[in-house]
Structure 1
Amino acid sequence: MSNYLTSSRVNISLLQEGAAKDLIYLLDKCDGPKVIILDEGLTRPIGLIATYSLLREHDVKEVFILNDGKLSNFREKVKNVIFITRPYLTHMDMICDNIHKENQDDLKQREYHLFFVPTRSLLCEKRLERKGVLGNFVLIEEFRCFLFPLENDLISMEMNDCYKELSLENDPTCLYRVAQAIVSLEDLYGRIGRVTGKGPVVKQVWELVSKICLEPRKANSKANRNYKTIDHLVLIDRSVDLMTPMATQLTFEGLIDELFGIDCCTVELPADKFVSEEDNVNTLARKKIVLNSNDEIFAETRNKHFNAVLMNLSKRAKHITSEYDENRSGKTVQEMKQLVSRLPYMLALKKQLSTYTTVAGLIKELTDKTSFRDLINVQQELILGIESDKVLPQIEDLISNKFDLITVLRLICMQSAVNSGLKQKTLEYYKREIIQVYGFKHLITMTHLENAGLIKIQANSRSYAVCRRLLNLDVYEMSEVDPDDINYVYGIYAPLSVRLIQHISKSDSKILSDVLPLLPGPIVEHVNSDVDQAPNNSFLVDSQKVVLVFFIGGCTFAEISALRFLSSLEDSTIEYVIATTNITNGNSFIKSLLIPEINNSLNK
């Protein structure tokens, strides 16, 4: 169990413990030494629930990544080969290739097992059968882990293609998984008192939840569903607010994700930046940094505006140095004992401080560039609606200079969002210029963005402008160091999604009655009156209400920081817990909608 997962009213460590127990139960069904062949996309999520040392305790000798070709040569002789994978046909083809290329002796001596995450797929099993491999498996099981614990207030399904599957492929499978995830949370934490949702898919999700709840429950259901730990579930369809992911996040954690990419709480940075010049380190080597609230320094800075982070790190460094010097000057035996007892803690803080000061320095190198500052200025002008209803010369210049295409597309998507669409002439001009400069293949790119709703032709109604005014989305005057509103996470822009959640949580009917009809999709409202307060919370008469926000289609770190900010306010009566299909940013969101060939060419 990870200690940092326990400090919330909703004890996320229960989710981690339950998932680990389920995985170990499956592994123990395969008696004897074993190796795991793991779908690469599950490597870090599985690492969040089961450490390698825990796996070793259950006779796992090695873990390999699933790839085409012959299985790796195992260092130790093993009886069991266990494939753990999501139900994707491409992964089935890899598994078939692995088994077909095994020699006859190995096939006779080994037992092969397949664990699907989170559920079995008839389509996948048919593929295995058609390729003559299905009969090789002794066990085919489900590892029903729908949510992975990232923080004490944050859980993710790690389904990065959810929005693409819904908007481009018309595949609703992920909605059933979301519904299963919600039911699994109710099994663990009790019935949810109230449900509110907004967006094209939320009605379908809640209908699926209701349907699953009517199915026979497992005998070993983990919780008494007649009490509640979670007071209110708010379902937010990403398509309700496509503006927010396109804007550049300005929090510390948000910028780390924007500039370097965070994958399941881990960022990889150049290793040579974290050592002294005398150390001989390969400049191509990467240092992995785990980002969670286990690190006190990161917990303090992650949700701050980046301009406040360097100041905070400097203050902390002075405080640690001062405390160390003061303790070292102590003369009595008792004072020396206190110093010795605190020394490991202070050294750990010092190491954390060094790490995050370096990370902040790497960010500053990039954010100090004129190109980055110009980009933020263009975004802020779009947010404020300054002459944004025409072809923007700044976007023209970026295209003519063949600037990074994803950055250009983010700006065009932002322009479409703030104007409730683009004029036909403006859109045709952008298309023509992009195809001419970046290549004809990007006609597909533009078509995908249109089909996904990120770019559209302007309608008569200007709903975004009305929402901006009613929800007070652009707050020009604000303090980056000591903010009093959520707009600091994007500079001057308060995320529409979080403003909406803020008003839903407070049941602000006047604002909601004006705003909700302007946003896409139906409204869901449901109350479970037959649930009681959780036994361990029954004495908390005036305690904060727990609101679980579930983003369907992904959310950003800046939105997470904004919700944490609302929870932290002195007069707050609400504690937010966040669940999401995945964590995204403008770059990863757009890339998820592109065809693989184009993505590969952009990554070169």
Structure 2
Amino acid sequence: MFPHLYGFRVNISLFQEAASKELLEILDKCEGTKAIVWDDSLSGPVGLVTKYAFLKERNVTKMLPLRPGALPDVDVRNVIFITRPNLKLMNYIAENVHSIDKRQKSGSSKELFLYFLPRVSTLCETQLKNKGVYGSFSHVGEFNCDFFPVDNDLLSMELKDTFRELYIEDDPTAIFLSAKALISLQQLYGRIPKINGKGNDAKKLWDLLKIMGQEELTSNAMGKGAIDQLFIVDRSVDVMSALATQLTYEGLIDEYYGINQSTAHFPSDRFSSSDESGLQGSVSDKKTIILNSSEELYTELRDKNFNAIGQILSRRANEISKQLDERHNDKSVQDIKRFVERLPNMMAYKKSLTTHTTIAELLKEVTSSDEFLDELECEQEFLVCSDVDKVNPFIEDLIANQAPFKTVIRLICMQSIGGSGLKQKVLDYYKRELIQVYGIEKLLAISNLEKAGLLKVQSGSRTYAVVRKTLKLTVEDTNEVTPNDISYVHTFYAPLTIRIVERALKPNGWQSLSDVLSCLPGPAFEDYQSNGQSALSTTRRGSFSSEMSQSDTPKVILVFFLGGCTFAEISALRFLSRQEDNNVEFVIATTKLINKNTFLDSLIE
């Protein structure tokens, strides 16, 4: 169903197949025609595990979004609600069910079902009971889909507010869900013998995972699986990389057009009507394009720095032009036959080339604008800790010109992180100006950012400056076209999260990082899992070294981001996996794919 999910030693399609099978079982429990009412946050992700044609085969005739008020009257036998466990959504469901119950009194009969993804919530069930609708459901159950397969090396839980919940609302639900997801992953792929991590919530996740693993994994006498090592990355350890502008092709598309569940929307008037490459359809005046590894050209382009894209597109255009011109040289019937056999692939590639040339033109308009370049120059000053102790003139001008609040506050947060806090008088000045220009209602957003640690008063230590120099987070004269360092993803800045993983790949790498890791918030840990035992003492580690010492095959490492990761970080990991010296394959899993805009939106809105 999704051939692009194959291709690596860890077969990501197993998640798709498991989720699709479970959804099939849910539908088969309901005889007759069906309507599915989706929580908005799930309607997109579910498209990563099944297709609408598959649902139609199971008598699904309607797909409806979950909205407050009455549910539209649909001529079906069964109505199936599939939702996240959220109290606000329970109110919507209650209103929908009341409207169905009223209609049923007048003669129409429907059977109702409710499924929570990924887990049933007692609190939500209580809410439905209080609303008087819980008894209306013939069955209440779970749709156990912990990870959604985004690509052949990428999994996402699609939990968009994890960082906010952990650091502003003090809600640890995401830690529990992450632990359950990692248990499910090991049930599919086998036990992961070695675990490293950094950060307070990363440690909480591992502690919970050990307890749950002893209960759920050891009972199956599970041996070592396809994955050799797990890195748990706490987003709070490196907020700077979440705020920095991504300069990879995929990262820029996400930041300026948005990539959701491998789908992006672009202005349709920029695409010719004959260009149907990768198109799924139109949304009003938008062109919908699928972006994943099923497309050969996109796979080549996505992890490149944007400044390298023009050369690649030009080279590929010349190559396809030469291939199409070969027909003039074909003399024999066999030559013509071979050309005709290759023609469909060549034409598909040509359409793909046209599509990505148009996308590159759209991005070029953004990246060549004075607004973009001035903003990028300002953030790059903060990345190298330049002028972080005083009010920044460019930020002052932005405020005076009433630039978007999100643009301004992002740069102030980056200045705060670069200086390991702002001087009291600088922070007070910024607050005063922001409230005066944008209104007192922005106080809540500022308070949230302070609670999350993105804005704070400077203390004595200069953590970021020390870490930047020790780990060489900024690299001068980075080669953007043929890079030799992960810093190319931001032109000259290497994401801290990935630099830590890179250093840890070296012999005794994790131990050599102890000094610099101690500068960062939260504990660093290294632990091991055996069959039936977790958290082993150092005297048992030799057995794990031998278990993982097969150097002839690449080591497979799962990097799990708690709180979200960016496409630039994913590109950096893919870059590391392509370096022969590392002899490693990465599988990336995250609570959510984020960019500077979506990350801030979750904190300030």
**So what's the TM-score if we normalise by structure 2?**
0.93
Q: Which residue of 1 aligns with 2:4?
A: 4
Change (3 A) 1:160 1:236: same
- The size of the alignment, in residue pairs, is 587
CA distance in 1, matches of 2:213, 2:107: 42
Report the secondary structure of 2:35's partner residue.
strand
CA distance in 1, matches of 2:106, 2:150: 39
Letter matched to residue 243 of structure 1: M
Any gaps of 5 or more consecutive residues in structure 2? Answer: 533-541
CA distance in 2, matches of 1:471, 1:539: 27
Listed as ranges, the matches of 1:385-396 within 5 Å are: 385-396=385-396
Letter matched to residue 65 of structure 2: I
CA distance in 1, matches of 2:330, 2:4: 33
Any gaps of 5 or more consecutive residues in structure 1? Answer: 596-604
Q: Which residue of 2 aligns with 1:495?
A: 495
Listed as ranges, the matches of 1:114-513 within 5 Å are: 114-215=114-215, 225-275=222-272, 285-506=285-506, 507-509=508-510, 511-513=512-514
Report the secondary structure of 1:36's partner residue.
strand
CA distance in 2, matches of 1:530, 1:277: 57
1:92 aligned to which of 79, 90, 105 = 90
8 Å Cα contact 2:267/2:287 also seen in 1: yes
Change (3 A) 1:2 1:86: same
CA deviation digits over 1:304-360, x for unaligned, max 9? 000111211111111101111114531211111111111111111111111111111
Letter matched to residue 517 of structure 1: S
CA distance in 1, matches of 2:185, 2:282: 45
Letter matched to residue 80 of structure 2: I
Change (3 A) 1:112 1:218: farther
Q: Which residue of 2 aligns with 1:30?
A: 30
CA-CA distance at 1:393 after TM superposition: 0.7
CA deviation digits over 1:456-483, x for unaligned, max 9? 1111111111101110000011111111
Report the secondary structure of 2:604's partner residue.
coil
CA distance in 2, matches of 1:519, 1:216: 33
Listed as ranges, the matches of 1:38-53 within 5 Å are: 38-53=38-53
Q: Which residue of 1 aligns with 2:518?
A: 517
8 Å Cα contact 1:146/1:181 also seen in 2: yes
Letter matched to residue 495 of structure 1: P
Q: Which residue of 1 aligns with 2:553?
A: 543
Change (3 A) 1:366 1:106: farther
Change (3 A) 1:487 1:140: same
CA-CA distance at 1:70 after TM superposition: 2.1
Q: Which residue of 1 aligns with 2:538?
A: none
8 Å Cα contact 2:68/2:93 also seen in 1: yes
CA deviation digits over 1:363-397, x for unaligned, max 9? 11111111111111111111122222211111111
CA distance in 2, matches of 1:348, 1:296: 10
Change (3 A) 1:18 1:81: same
8 Å Cα contact 1:382/1:414 also seen in 2: yes
Q: Which residue of 2 aligns with 1:588?
A: 598
8 Å Cα contact 1:183/1:209 also seen in 2: yes
8 Å Cα contact 1:5/1:11 also seen in 2: yes
Q: Which residue of 2 aligns with 1:80?
A: 78
CA distance in 2, matches of 1:106, 1:463: 68
Change (3 A) 1:282 1:164: closer
CA deviation digits over 1:271-302, x for unaligned, max 9? 111126999x9995111111101111111100
8 Å Cα contact 1:328/1:339 also seen in 2: no
Q: Identity, % of aligned pairs?
A: 47
CA-CA distance at 1:69 after TM superposition: 2.2
Letter matched to residue 235 of structure 1: I
CA distance in 1, matches of 2:499, 2:328: 49
Listed as ranges, the matches of 1:527-566 within 5 Å are: 527-530=528-531, 542-566=552-576
Letter matched to residue 346 of structure 1: M
CA distance in 1, matches of 2:200, 2:106: 51
Q: Which residue of 1 aligns with 2:589?
A: 579
8 Å Cα contact 1:38/1:66 also seen in 2: yes
CA-CA distance at 1:529 after TM superposition: 4.2
CA distance in 1, matches of 2:451, 2:499: 26
8 Å Cα contact 2:117/2:143 also seen in 1: yes
Change (3 A) 1:80 1:516: same
Letter matched to residue 82 of structure 1: I
Which segments of structure 1 move beyond 4 Å, counting only runs of 4 or more? 105-108, 216-219, 276-279, 281-284, 529-533, 537-541
Report the secondary structure of 1:577's partner residue.
strand
Letter matched to residue 244 of structure 2: A
Change (3 A) 1:509 1:118: closer
Change (3 A) 1:418 1:371: same
CA distance in 2, matches of 1:546, 1:278: 39
Report the secondary structure of 2:126's partner residue.
helix
Q: Which moved more, 1:322-331 or 1:242-251?
A: 322-331
Report the secondary structure of 2:513's partner residue.
helix
CA-CA distance at 1:143 after TM superposition: 0.5
8 Å Cα contact 2:104/2:110 also seen in 1: no
Report the secondary structure of 2:200's partner residue.
coil
CA distance in 2, matches of 1:69, 1:191: 46
CA deviation digits over 1:29-54, x for unaligned, max 9? 11221111111110111010011111
CA distance in 2, matches of 1:80, 1:519: 53
CA distance in 2, matches of 1:328, 1:306: 35
Report the secondary structure of 2:465's partner residue.
helix
Letter matched to residue 96 of structure 2: N
Report the secondary structure of 1:215's partner residue.
helix
Letter matched to residue 30 of structure 1: C
CA deviation digits over 1:500-525, x for unaligned, max 9? 11122334146402211001011221
CA distance in 2, matches of 1:363, 1:216: 48
CA-CA distance at 1:121 after TM superposition: 0.6
Letter matched to residue 88 of structure 2: T
CA distance in 2, matches of 1:315, 1:122: 58
Q: Which residue of 2 aligns with 1:567?
A: 577
Letter matched to residue 590 of structure 1: L
CA distance in 2, matches of 1:391, 1:574: 44
Q: Which moved more, 1:208-217 or 1:433-442?
A: 208-217
Letter matched to residue 397 of structure 1: D
Q: Which residue of 1 aligns with 2:104?
A: 104
CA-CA distance at 1:443 after TM superposition: 1.2
8 Å Cα contact 1:37/1:65 also seen in 2: yes
Report the secondary structure of 2:270's partner residue.
helix
Q: Which residue of 1 aligns with 2:535?
A: none
CA distance in 1, matches of 2:198, 2:389: 28
8 Å Cα contact 2:115/2:140 also seen in 1: yes
